[in-house]
Amino acid sequence: MRIFKTKWFQKWASKEGLGDEVLRRTVAEMAAGLIDADLGGHVVKKRVALPGHGKRGSLRTLVAFKADDKAFFIYGFAKNERDNIDQNELKALRLLATELLSYGPALLVKAVTAGEVIEVSDDG
């Protein structure tokens, strides 16, 4: 399974100290069926713990996820910053998920080359 993050998510994750190793582990949990909420349209909510913190008080990520195919980390927030997203945001994220998950190999290369998505590396 290939794992990506949007340019916006990369900036946010860097600020929060959320590295690629944690993202890979998170997708492995999702592939094993450990998803906190299925928001529809291939958008799932997954809690992510930072080192030294439990998942309860840590970060929330929204991921465009298609099992055995691709995962795109598209949005994140700290639980203490906001409770959840609203319906308009969810609608937009579902459209984004549909678009990203439809990318074939050529479009993925183009998006990565343009810097719009970043592939999560295997070496951290």
Range of the domain at 18: 2-119
> What amino acid occupies position 40?
G
Count CB atoms within 10 A of the CB of residue 10: 18
- Domain-located, residue 94: yes
- Domain-located, residue 35: yes
Is 0.85 surpassed by the pTM of this model? yes
- Domain-located, residue 8: yes
- Domain-located, residue 124: no
The structure tokens listed for 41 are 């349209």
> What amino acid occupies position 35?
I
Rounded to the nearest 5 percent, the helix, strand and coil shares of the chain are: 40, 25, 30
- Domain-located, residue 60: yes
Q: What is the pLDDT of residues 52-99, one digit of tens each?
A: 665 566 899 999 999 889 999 999 998 777 777 889 999 999 999 999
Domain count, the chain: 1
Q: What is the pLDDT of residues 33-51, one digit of tens each?
A: 999 999 999 999 999 887 6
